[in-house]
Structure 1
Amino acid sequence: MTHHTLIRADTLLERLRHGTPTVLLDCGFDLFDPAAGERAYAAGHLPGAHYLHLERDLSGPTRDAAGRFRGRHPLPARDAWAALVARLGIAPGVQVVAYDAQGGPCAARAWWLLRWIGHDAAAVLDGGVAAWQAAGGTLTTAAPGRLDAAPYPARADAMPLVDAAALQARLGRVCLLDARAGERFRGEVEPLDAAAGHVPGALHRFFMDNLRPDGRFKDAATLRAELLPLVGAAAPADVVHMCGSGVTACHNLLALAHAGLGTGALYPGSWSEWSSDPARALARDGAAPGAGASS
């Protein structure tokens, strides 16, 4: 069976016990301590898992060839990502399972990137490392071998994207969901980016609201009931997802897909890119939209 959104820990255990081809990706990361994920991986990871670093592997350069800021975690070059996928032994049809220990945001980023190049046999381990251990799974410190596959076939982008200019032109005509924590969305604090607030007209859906208290995703029916009032009757292409830097937005995209509501478009630059230009409008709760200012 192929898994396209989430996979339970006990199901993954059974796959591995039966030797069903599966590539595991450990995506643990901490924004405030970028080496923490690698340290945790070295201390113990799922058997056979490869480590992918958010900034080295799941992101590209923060500036384009002209020196323009693209956000804190822009997408990697598509060809470079496809080449890395092949080096990990991922070929079309091979099941990939991504996980982390932070509630799934970086695992969801890996899931989205795989779907972006047309690899739909990709899922996130529901509940991450904690769920794996609770199901009886063990951790190892052994490094996996590389099983290079043939170059991943070039395909058209399978997941839609929106850049800052396109979003600016479509404001008021798209459903824009922001995955950041409430205090950042409201503009009460901004620990990472140039200005506090949100894009005018954006709606708030904190990515952690997709999870139950035990760290597993809410069931599909519950997610659908919570997300449907936000997206309404909008076509998936008219639902744009953003966050601070295009990472936790993927968590909402995953939840939307798991709920059977399609996917929607990702704005990769997200608030980090948007707020870097003081000419772009911003809004704060209780305040009228205005020009962004450095914090």
Structure 2
Amino acid sequence: MKANPLISAQELSNLLDTASNLVVCDCRFELTNPSQGLQLYNDGHIPGARHVDLDQVLSIKGTPDQGRHPLPAREHFAQTMAAIGISDATHVVCYDANDSMFAARLWWMLRWIGHANVSVLDGGFKLWQQGGYPVTTEPPQPAKEGFLSLRDSLTQTVEYDEVLANISAAERLVLDARSPDRFRGENETLDPIGGHIPGAANRFFKDNLQADGRFKEAETLRKEITASLQGQQPERVISQCGSGVTACHNLLAMEVAGFSGAALYPGSWSQWSNTSGAPVAKD
């Protein structure tokens, strides 16, 4: 079963009361304070939600030349998701408090292992609270372990060598989700070198959102993303960011807009900037 990529707070509230096979995942995280996500979860979360940490679950600790947030093995990730109660038929709903950037990573990773029944809470925890929906500090009941089979991936990845070869081949468009200043090589605080991959285009992931944190309407995203793709077909697009997280936000926005088939470069700029000889553009 394939779920809509986005779900509203009202729709999730209804599911909490009626759905028998639902797992809600709290993906809140702070890049500058990795322990804060769990603290926020303990301070209050959607009833029944399970905390899913970027550093512990959605990535592994790697070497600098792998990037800041390398992907775990697909098999290991599937086992981790099964341990919190997710099975093949489970509808997974992901949320965070950071414009859905970490929730989008989990959305993409579940599709990466072939699980299509996953949605992101549109507007995240902020709109859930503002809507007056319930929040609890109570831990969820112990999960009954599920069974999540590895299926054909619903997305694709590319590695450093492929992105490097594409600079001269120019067969695909690299779309960088970082802020415009970091794309230009300014105000870089996370990675050793500022700039971008030569030939890349920039679409800041926050441009996918309305002022209240919800995603823009599908037709608006379609028009804007079409302009960002510069005539390239979606299946010839490589989504990239600092470390393969907000790149998933652009992939989610593309899915909402009806554009499927783009690939993720998981290592992204954090791998590129730590690789000797990698060409760098600044403008």
> Which TM bucket (shorter chain)?
over 0.9
Is it true that 1:243 corresponds to 2:265 in the alignment? no
Q: Which residue of 2 aligns with 1:6?
A: 6
Q: Which residue of 1 aligns with 2:77?
A: 81
Cα distance in 2, alignment partners of residues 183 and 259 from structure 1: 26
1:154-173, aligned counterparts within 5 Å?
Answer: 154-171=150-167, 172-173=170-171
Is it true that 1:115 corresponds to 2:111 in the alignment? yes
Cα distance in 1, alignment partners of residues 165 and 192 from structure 2: 22
Q: Where does the alignment leave 5 or more consecutive residues of structure 2 unmatched?
A: none
Q: Which amino acid in 1 is paired with 2:103?
A: A
Cα distance in 2, alignment partners of residues 105 and 263 from structure 1: 20
Residue 94 (structure 1) aligned to one of 90, 93, 105 = 90
Shift of 1:229: 1.3
Q: Which moved more, 1:10-19 or 1:250-259?
A: 10-19
Between Structure 1 and Structure 2, the one with more helix by share is: 2
Q: Which residue of 2 aligns with 1:289?
A: none
1:118-157, aligned counterparts within 5 Å?
Answer: 118-157=114-153
Residue 254 (structure 1) aligned to one of 252, 255, 266 = 252
1:267-282, aligned counterparts within 5 Å?
Answer: 267-282=265-280
Percent of aligned pairs sharing the same letter: 45
1:45–1:141 contact (8 Å) kept in structure 2? yes
Shift of 1:20: 4.2
Q: Which amino acid in 2 is paired with 1:222?
A: T
Q: Which amino acid in 2 is paired with 1:267?
A: Y
Q: Which residue of 1 aligns with 2:29?
A: 29
RMSD value, Cα: 1.5
Q: Which residue of 1 aligns with 2:179?
A: 181
Cα distance in 1, alignment partners of residues 92 and 51 from structure 2: 13
Shift of 1:151: 3.3
2:242–2:270 contact (8 Å) kept in structure 1? yes
Q: 1:130 to 1:263 in 2, by over 3 A?
A: farther
Q: Which amino acid in 2 is paired with 1:160?
A: Q
SS class of match (1:283): coil
Structure 1 residue ranges (4+ consecutive) displaced by more than 3 angstroms after TM superposition = 148-151
Q: 1:236 to 1:148 in 2, by over 3 A?
A: farther
Shift of 1:2: 5.7
Q: Which amino acid in 1 is paired with 2:54?
A: L
Q: Where does the alignment leave 5 or more consecutive residues of structure 1 unmatched?
A: 286-295
Cα distance in 2, alignment partners of residues 205 and 213 from structure 1: 17
Q: Which residue of 2 aligns with 1:290?
A: none
Shift of 1:233: 4.3
2:177–2:205 contact (8 Å) kept in structure 1? yes
Q: Which amino acid in 2 is paired with 1:114?
A: L
Residue 229 (structure 2) aligned to one of 228, 231, 235 = 231
1:4–1:120 contact (8 Å) kept in structure 2? no
How many residues of Structure 1 are paired with residues of Structure 2 in the alignment? 281
Q: Which residue of 2 aligns with 1:42?
A: 42
Shift of 1:150: 4.1
Shift of 1:173: 1.6
2:21–2:89 contact (8 Å) kept in structure 1? no
2:239–2:264 contact (8 Å) kept in structure 1? yes
Shift of 1:109: 0.2
SS class of match (1:176): strand
Shift of 1:54: 0.5
What's the TM-score once normalised by structure 1's chain length? Answer: 0.92
SS class of match (2:135): coil
Shift of 1:118: 0.6
Is it true that 1:193 corresponds to 2:172 in the alignment? no
